[in-house]
Structures are given as C-alpha cells and as structure tokens.
Amino acid sequence: MDLNILNIDETEIMERYDVDHLSAKLLKATNLSDNQIKDILSNDMQLHTSNAQCVLDCVNRILQAKENNEKVFVGGDYDADGICATAIMKKTLDILEIENGFYIPDRFKEGYGLHPETVELAYEKGYTLILTVDNGVKALDAISKAKELGVDIIITDHHTISDELDVLVVHPDYMEEEFQYLSGAGVALEISRHLVGNMDALNAIAGVAQVGDVMQLYAETRKLVKIAIENLKQHNPLPLYALFSNKDNINHKAIAFDIVPKLNSVGRLNEYANVNTVPQFLISDNEVDIMKYATQITHVNELRKSLSKKEVDIANSFIKNDKFHVIYDSSFHEGLCGLVAGRITQSTQKPTLVLSKHNDLLKGSARSIPGINLMDFFQDMPYIEQIGGHEMAAGLAIKEENYDQFYEIVQEKIASYQIDMEDIKPIVIHITPKDISLEAIMDLYRLEPMPKEISEIQFALEDFTIIDIFQSPKVTKYILACDACELEAICFSWKNLPKIEHPKTLIGKLKINRWRDKVIAQMEIDDIH
C-alpha cells in the first residue's frame, strides 16, 4: 500500500492541550480546528435540546394531533439510522398515547423514501398526519399526494436538500449549529425530547444511529455517541445490548462493527427477514422476546457476511486500472452493493460504484474517497434514473442498456478531476520504540470516540527489536522490546498480509489489552514491510 508517512514534532500540541505525545501526534496530523480539538477532549456529556422553530412547529403539530385524537403515521427507512429513527418516533407517540403506525419500505420492491402509494394507504386507514424520519426531502410525489388528499405531512430528515419544499421540514440545516451533525434519528430525538423529556434508552438508540450513519463526531452528535456507550454498558436499552457479541467490550468500534451491521442486515436481506419488525424490537421490554429476536438478527447477519465475502471476491476479479471503479454483475445482491463498494474503495483507495440487476434497471451503491463528493460528481450526469445519498456514499440507478455509455462518462469525468494523490494516500505517523508506553497508549482513549479525521490515521513503527515470535494458523504475534514496556504486535491471518520473519515496518493502531490481571500494550497490524 502506498503511504504518506509523517514525522511529527508534537511538542506544541502536548503543551497547548495537555495530552501525551501519541495523542498529540494524532491531533497534529489532522487539520482540526482549535474548537474541534477542545470538543474532542471535553468531558461535557450534558445533552441540549434544539429550540429551532422547525422543531417547535413539529412538536406543536404532534400535540395538536394528541388533542384532536388524530392518527399519526411514521414513514421510516431501512438502514440502521432509519430503523432507529422509526423506533424513537414510535416510542414517543406511544408514550403520548397517540394512535400511530409506521412503515419502512422494502429496499428492493419499493426503494428508498416515502411513496405516493404509501400515502394513499395511510389516508385510507384514517391517518391525518404523516411524519417522515430519515427521509422525505426528495419525496416530492408523496408530498404532492398528501396535499391532494388533505393529509398533513412533516418531513424530518438530514439528507441534502436540493428542492424547495412547501411543507414543514425539520432538518439540521434549520437547527442551531451544535445540531448540524445529527443523523435522521438524531433529528427525531430532538422532537422526542420536547415531547417526553430525556430518556436514556432513546438517547442510546439515537447514539447508535449516529455511528451507523457515520456522522461527524462533534458537538451534540459526539455527546450522543458517548452517552450511548455509557448507557449500553448499563444494559440500556436491553435490545441493543443483547446484540453485542462481546458484552465485555462495549465501545464505539463495537457499535460500528457489531451492532450496526446487524441492524442493517435485516434491510439488506429482506428475503430472510422483515425490517418492519426491528423498530418494535428496539423498544421492547420483554426479555424473552428480546433474546430470541437478537439471535435471529445475528443469524441474518452471519448470512450477510458470508454472501458479501463471496461478492467481494467476484468484484475484485472485475477491477481495472480505472480511477473510478464501476463494477456490475447480474449475480450481485442489491442489498450488498454498498458493502462491496466500501471494501473495494478501502483496498484500492479509489471511488467505487457496484451495480446489480433490478428488473430493467441496474441499481447499486457508490463509496468515495476524500476529495470527491459523490453527489456533486453525479449531479446532472446523463442516464441516471434515481439518485440519493451523501458526499461519501450514494445510491443510484441506470437503465441496463445505458451501462456502457454511463461507464464511459464516469471515466471521462473522473479524469478531469485534479486530485493531489498525496492527499489520498493513507496517512501514517512514524514512531519508534521510545514512543511506546502504557501511559501514552492509555491517553489515546481520551480521543474516543475518534472522529473520522483521527480514526483513519495509523502509526508506522520502525527501529524495533523482536524478542519473540508466536505463530498459529489464525495469528502471528511479534513481541517487541520498547523503552517503557513490551509491545505485542498482532497480525491476523485473515488480513492476508505477507509473512515476514524480520519486518522493518509495522503499521497499525495502538491499544491496551486487559487480560486477566495483565495490562498489555498492543498493535493490531494492518500492513507490514
């Protein structure tokens, strides 16, 4: 892997922010502002509640619905954020004793967002107020249908607003600055907090959603994630806690790589599970049902992992020397395209679009790299039938007969991008054994949960002495002599890294491993030379 190795003088950062040298090196390697660094190091976990006019207007309309005994319908989304947002709004309406229902569309049969047909069904069932969560800013046809039928509709969303909407929209763009990084569930929580107050379980659900949608970890969003971690350590809420594979190690990484994939797997593999059962699971208090359902979700996720591994292997066989990978195979599962695109992007450091066949359309997901905003890149591009998403992740559809022309347009456009490849190379920080100590590694935990700008940076350890090597089919463990302590450098076989008996450089992240009564300094190796 081509790397950008930095030699950093961290002295100034250490003095200014009172951090140890490894933390200072990480902070200096970023372009974070003084306020962002102070936010990261702050111990403040006091949540605030948005008093933006859009939030207050939404709250008042819901209270009016309660007073008038109206039925309220919640239109959700099938990813972790949308599922959590649906659960938060459902629980809030239940507490208020407002008759309500919700529906999350089928990812493959219906696609993303609120549809006119759903609005009609809600109208026929007597719903007079519709609330979208984690979607809606692009639901122009559904909004028109609601207006035609005389059904009030409020959009609560966090996706990019590209069209002027003549309905009430609750969105971070219209809220105070500290709420600008909220996901859809975070927006739903701000409404909920006005209606039912501070609830630990709902805070935790919203915090997990921030991780699931990979929101920037600053301001109120950062607090939500930290609070979610603390609440989950106390088994609150039980449904989310039950999903952890390792209940002794609850942190940001565990949420991202254990909880979130399980929630997402239900929407991705709709032929094996019904995503509309998940919001009710998240707010359940029946322990027997919770444990049974958690087992079922875990099983679906194991199936998802097996299928996605096979599809990553197929996708890798199609990779060309393109600057923007566009990969299509009719065997790809539509629900796994985003995962496959993410893996290819991670391994090649190039933006990737993976497409599968859906009737007469090719539908899929794209993942990007710093410097390429996908929504800007695909804006006004010919042949795109549907599109939505964020700067780094987007979903789109094209007609099958237009694939070749679309592919060529993508390659022509990416060729026009002037991107400094030095900015794209993964950043690693040069360190030596004298930098390694338990205290310095422990200080890194002050940066948790690490924002993306920090979490993507790794350490490159050189000039070390190996005092022992342990090998097994699953792992190679190098024991290194450092100035203040020993360091275990662990290389897992599933990463398929070269086996080097006397490596010169080890690249990875540093952590503390507590095993029995021992506190051990560790590096998990991601690259070796």
**CA-CA-CA-CA torsion sign (512, 514, 519, 521):** negative
CA torsion through residues 229, 234, 240, 243, sign: positive
CA pair distance 131, 81, nearest whole angstrom: 15
pLDDT band at 421 (very low <50, low <70, confident <90, very high): very low
To the nearest whole number, what is the mean pLDDT of the chain?
Answer: 94
Task: Let me know: does 415 contact 323? Beta carbons within 8 Å.
Answer: yes
What's the pLDDT score for residue 143?
Answer: 98
Phi/psi for 298 (5° steps) reads -60, -40
Judge contact between 224 and 210, C-beta under 8 A.
yes
Q: Could you tell me the strand order of the sheet in which 518-528 lies? A: 4-6, 427-431, 458-462, 505-515, 518-528, 486-492, 475-481, 465-471
Cα-only R_g, the chain: 24
What per-residue confidence (pLDDT) applies to 304? 95
State residue 493's pLDDT score.
Answer: 87
Q: How far is CA 295 from the centre of its chain?
A: 23
Start-end of H helices in 213-286: 219-233, 238-242, 252-254, 260-268, 278-282
Query: Is the backbone peptide bond immediately before 498 cis, with ω within 30 degrees of 0?
Result: no
pLDDT in tens, 193-224: 999 999 999 999 999 999 999 899 999 999 99
Integer CA distances (angstroms), 12 to 18, 24, 27, 222, in order? 10, 8, 11, 26
- CA dist., res. 55 & res. 474, Å (int): 52
Return the structure tokens found at 8.
Answer: 């950093």
Which secondary-structure segment (H or E) carries 140?
helix 140-149
Contacts of 324 by beta carbon, 8 Å cutoff, 6+ apart: 350, 351, 352, 353, 410, 411, 413, 414
CA distance 108 to 270: 8
In the predicted model, what is the mean pLDDT of residues 225-254?
A: 96
Give the CB-side neighbour count of residue 327, counting CA atoms within 13 A: 36
Would you place residue 420 in the very low, low, confident or very high pLDDT band (cuts 50, 70, 90)? low
pTM: 0.90
Task: Give yes or no for residue 286 having a pLDDT over 90.
Answer: yes
Residue 320, pLDDT > 60, answer yes
Q: Which domains does the chain have, with CATH numbers?
A: 4-37+426-528 (2.40.50.460), 53-294 (3.90.1640.30), 319-419 (3.10.310.30)
